[in-house]
Amino acid sequence: MPVTHRHPGTVLTDHVFPVPLDHAAPDGEQIEVYARELVAAGREREDLPWLVYLQGGPGGRSPRPVGPDWWAPALRHYRVLLLDQRGTGRSTPANRQSLPLRGTPREQADYLALFRADSIVKDAEVVRKRLLGAGVPWSVIGQSFGGFCTTTYLSFAPEGVREAFVTGGLPGLRTGAEDIYRKSYPRVASKNAAFYDRYPGDVGTVREIAEHLAEHEATLPDGSPLTVERFQWLGLMLGMGSGPDLLHYLLEDAWTPGRAGRELSDTFLEGVRPHVSLATNPLFALLHEASYGQRSVSKEGTRWAAQRVRDEFPVFDARRALDEGRQVYFTGEMIYPWQFETDPALVPLHETAHLLAERGDWPDLYDPARLAANEVPVHAVVYYDDMYVDRDDSMATAQAVRGTRAWVTSEWEHDGLRVGQGRVLERLIGMARGEF
């Protein structure tokens, strides 16, 4: 029996759906997918169209409502469903605690191979048919990786989609993992340069921290090591609207006097910890590169593409930067093998991660021919200076998917949907209704 809660102005209902672990074997093992329904108070009994939200990631759970948020404009038109994609949130979990129950690392890797966008879309179709009926399509909104999932949806189950909204998530249809990183490292370097232009005093602070970490062992409050490379991973923040400012405020608490002299403060180390641990979304580490795997692009595994391509960009070599007196650059949305040696949430999964990295012949996630004949209206925002999703890839896909209207803006960064106070979604809904 669904459980219902009331927030000011909103009624929330919990749903849990059994879905096949492997949709190719629908009568086999079942897992659970959780979703939270939102509807404006007083409209619970109205026959409203549905809008399902596909979260960014991979590995991110759907938002937890605590008040008005980006979905406020949607509640004027839709009944919203916030879906916890398989393995996340309240859906059947996939983490260092649950995955060993699957058996060997090889068995864990085989299990996780069923957690990509193609399976997420098939889960969504099961949910749609149970909530709305097989013949009733719904609207879809995908943020970042959720936009990748939306493009997969249009490739393989467009009959389930009435209209699609994409925010910062039009993927390259035939872009492999190595190409992704060859494009993203320069964007991350640009974000670093902009950060240091805004906060020139942080050039010295970052160098001092990196130098300290290169010469001394440092430990985060969870007991895990803070290495130079792990410190550099704070650059993941630089692509969000307030990310550079938050990074600056984190750095300004770096040092404190101690018995042995100047040392990294507990405040700083505790502030760093949640930014460099993937305890809350381990699937991001396990499946990030796999989310780019397609046999039509490459039948080889992704083989730690971010690590291999990084060698082509020596500007990110922190130790070399220290030796040469240069700025130390942070990295971005890249997953590295060393994370499975330093992050307590990932260390038990290191062998599984290596097997996934070597896994080849991933099924295709997009069907360019079907997308070229697409009949579903698509309304997308492309962030001009997006650090995480390549603008040129997004625009090429907007051209390749029939019926796509792209709004390109530099007003927001990648998190515009979340921080734009509803204006991004309001604009997209207006585009769908012919107001723009």
User: Could you tell me if 10 and 101 lie in one domain?
Assistant: yes
pLDDT at residue 222, as a whole number:
96
Residues serving a catalytic function are: 144, 361, 414
Range name among 136-145, 153-162, 413-422 with the lowest pLDDT average: 413-422
**Chain-centroid distance, C-alpha 71:** 18
Distance, in Å, from the CA atom of 121 to the CA atom of 40, rounded to the nearest integer, reads 26
pLDDT at residue 3, as a whole number:
83
Q: Crossing angle for the helix pair 243-251 and 202-215, nearest 10 degrees?
A: 60
pLDDT > 90? residue 259: no
Secondary structure class of 374 (helix, strand, coil): coil
CB-CB contact of 89 with 82 (8 Å): no
Among candidate residues 88, 74, 55, the one with its CA nearest the CA of residue 139: 74
Residues 6+ apart with CB under 8 A from 420: 70, 412
Among candidate residues 203, 198, 121, the one with its CA nearest the CA of residue 159: 121
Distance, in Å, from the CA atom of 312 to the CA atom of 134, rounded to the nearest integer, reads 50
Reported residue count of the chain is: 436
| Gyration radius of the chain over CA positions | 22
What number of other Cβ atoms are within 10 A of residue 36's Cβ?
21
**Per-residue confidence band for 436, with pLDDT thresholds at 50, 70 and 90:** confident
What does the CA dihedral 385, 387, 391, 397 come to, rounded to 10 degrees? -150
CB-CB contact of 373 with 402 (8 Å): yes
Q: Which tokens go with 245?
A: 């400012």
Q: What is the pTM of this model?
A: 0.96
Distance, in Å, from the CA atom of 302 to the CA atom of 293, rounded to the nearest integer, reads 7
Distance, in Å, from the CA atom of 381 to the CA atom of 235, rounded to the nearest integer, reads 24
pLDDT > 90? residue 400: yes
Among candidate residues 421, 388, 402, 363, the one with its CA nearest the CA of residue 164: 402
pLDDT at residue 432, as a whole number:
92
H or E element, residue 307: helix 305-310
pLDDT > 90? residue 4: no
**Per-residue confidence band for 16, with pLDDT thresholds at 50, 70 and 90:** very high
CB-CB contact of 18 with 34 (8 Å): no
**Domain boundary residue, one of 302, 337, 358:** 358
Residue with tokens 């490739």: 155
Residue 4 corresponds to which amino acid? T
**Domain boundary residue, one of 341, 358, 375:** 358
Q: What is the CATH number of the domain that holds 43?
A: 3.40.50.1820
pLDDT > 70? residue 120: yes
User: Could you tell me if 298 and 398 lie in one domain?
Assistant: no
User: Could you tell me if 351 and 225 lie in one domain?
Assistant: yes
pLDDT at residue 1, as a whole number:
66
User: Could you tell me if 168 and 182 lie in one domain?
Assistant: no
pLDDT at residue 45, as a whole number:
92
Residue ranges making up the domain that contains 267: 177-358
pLDDT at residue 313, as a whole number:
97
pLDDT at residue 346, as a whole number:
98
Mean pLDDT, to the nearest integer, of 272-279? 97
**How many domains are contained in the chain?**
2
What number of other Cβ atoms are within 10 A of residue 315's Cβ?
18
CA dist list (Å): 359 to 161, 170, 290, 356? 31, 25, 9, 5
User: Could you tell me if 119 and 234 lie in one domain?
Assistant: no
Distance, in Å, from the CA atom of 290 to the CA atom of 62, rounded to the nearest integer, reads 21
**Domain boundary residue, one of 358, 384, 405:** 358
Residue 167 corresponds to which amino acid? T
pLDDT > 80? residue 54: yes
Distance, in Å, from the CA atom of 114 to the CA atom of 32, rounded to the nearest integer, reads 14
User: Could you tell me if 133 and 104 lie in one domain?
Assistant: yes
User: Could you tell me if 315 and 376 lie in one domain?
Assistant: no
Mean pLDDT, to the nearest integer, of 175-200? 97
Distance, in Å, from the CA atom of 381 to the CA atom of 432, rounded to the nearest integer, reads 12
pLDDT at residue 2, as a whole number:
80
User: Could you tell me if 144 and 262 lie in one domain?
Assistant: no
First-last CA distance in the chain: 42
User: Could you tell me if 409 and 285 lie in one domain?
Assistant: no
pLDDT > 90? residue 136: yes
pLDDT at residue 287, as a whole number:
98
**CA atoms 187, 188, 189, 195: torsion sign:** positive
Residue with tokens 């990631």: 57
User: Could you tell me if 65 and 126 lie in one domain?
Assistant: yes
Summary mean pLDDT of the chain = 96
Secondary structure class of 269 (helix, strand, coil): helix
pLDDT > 70? residue 101: yes
Tens digits of residue pLDDT in 298-323: 989 999 999 999 999 999 999 999 99
User: Could you tell me if 181 and 326 lie in one domain?
Assistant: yes
On the 0-12 / 13-18 / 19+ scale of CB atoms within 10 A, 1 is exposed
Residues 6+ apart with CB under 8 A from 406: 170, 380, 381, 382, 394, 395, 398
Residues 6+ apart with CB under 8 A from 399: none
Mean pLDDT, to the nearest integer, of 157-164? 98
Distance, in Å, from the CA atom of 315 to the CA atom of 282, rounded to the nearest integer, reads 28
Among candidate residues 40, 95, 19, 33, the one with its CA nearest the CA of residue 62: 33
Q: Which tokens go with 247?
A: 């990074």
**Per-residue confidence band for 41, with pLDDT thresholds at 50, 70 and 90:** very high
User: Could you tell me if 9 and 132 lie in one domain?
Assistant: yes
pLDDT at residue 18, as a whole number:
98
